[in-house]
Chains A and B, each alone.
Chain A
């Protein structure tokens, strides 16, 4: 059976597309799924370093698109999980080095070999975005609870829904800071979700372990003690159709704080 192509996109840069892509992909591979991560951010590749595979790159997506190598030659096998692969972006080329038609062809070919293909989309809504979205069946929309990220995410929702084969993206709200939300100084996930009016796939708290895991090139989803890792494991389960309750964002409250909050209700 052919796999599913999922684009991870956001509009705005720096909201955590690459991290989300790496973690969901790795999480699915931990469950034994055959997963391919494609870095579509030509010229600014980063999925390789987040995955800790930067030293193994020989060929890239542009080589595949231009047929200077076979598709299989460009796939990098993950060092930890048997069923996980990366197709890196070219670093010294530009977004127009590939076309939407070639992306559709490449996705169609690779779908035969994998259960899931995740495409890490570049920021913006130009050529790079169009290429990344061209071959996708589904989309994960990543945003953070701030005005500019949500505004840009709304544009992406509009563009995906206006596509010939409409995609209704599922939302991941990243970098939520529970203490600020409680104080009314940050938009809550419900606010963001209400405004964007799409299905909520997950909530990821702002967590320092993301920085340390990126430092090491080991996605946080592998870390049992990471709060963000737990959030990603929940997302992976939901992605596979399991019903997992959304994580409580009161984990940083002590017992006294929890009691106080209950009384306040």
Chain B
């Protein structure tokens, strides 16, 4: 019976999905930064950072985070290798 329940039930209840989606959309609404703008920012960050180091672009994550009415930009950028030469080269 429990197995059946598990089988038919999604991993997250629709309420959890709603809360999660709402939190995300409000972070963008409150900061007045659209997801598209964040994507542009991410692209430019990649261009700058790759001058200095090899990064894992697939695993890179740039998100806005908010507490009440202030926002913070959180970037997680896995570094594969530091390019020692490039700093002096440019």
Contacts and interface: CB of A to CB of B under 8 A. Distances in A.
Contact of B19 (A154, A161, A195, A197): A195
A151 B29 contact: yes
B30 A158 contact: yes
Contacts of B58: none
A186 interface: yes
26 contacts: A146-B18, A147-B18, A147-B25, A150-B22, A151-B22, A151-B26, A151-B29, A154-B26, A154-B29, A154-B30, A155-B29, A183-B13, A184-B13, A184-B15, A184-B16, A185-B13, A185-B14, A185-B15, A187-B18, A187-B19, A188-B15, A191-B15, A191-B19, A195-B19, A195-B22, A195-B23
B26 A195 contact: yes
B21 interface: yes
Interface string A112-144: 000000000000000000000000000000000
A158 B16 CA distance: 24
B45 to A, nearest CB: 28
Interface string B20-44: 0111011001100000000000000
B32 to A, nearest CB: 10
Interface residues of A, number: 18
Nearest to A146: B18
Contacts of A183: 13
Contacts of B2: none
A185 B10 CA distance: 11
A146 B25 CA distance: 13
A155 B25 CA distance: 12
Contacts, number: 39
Interface residues of B, number: 15
A103 B88 CA distance: 66
B5 to A, nearest CB: 12
Nearest to B32: A158
Nearest to B13: A184
Contacts of B15: 181, 184-188, 191
Contacts of A191: 15, 19
B34 to A, nearest CB: 14
Interface in A147-199: 147, 150-151, 154-155, 158, 161, 181, 183-188, 191, 195, 197
B20 to A, nearest CB: 10
Interface in B43-90: 68-69
A150 to B, nearest CB: 6
Contacts of A161: 69
Contacts of B29: 151, 154-155
A184 B16 CA distance: 8
Contacts of B16: 184
B28 to A, nearest CB: 10
A61 B13 CA distance: 47
Contacts of A188: 15
B22 A197 contact: no
Contacts of A158: 30, 69
B23 A197 contact: no
A197 B68 contact: yes
Given A191-B19, A195-B19, A151 B14 contact: no
Contacts of A195: 19, 22-23, 26
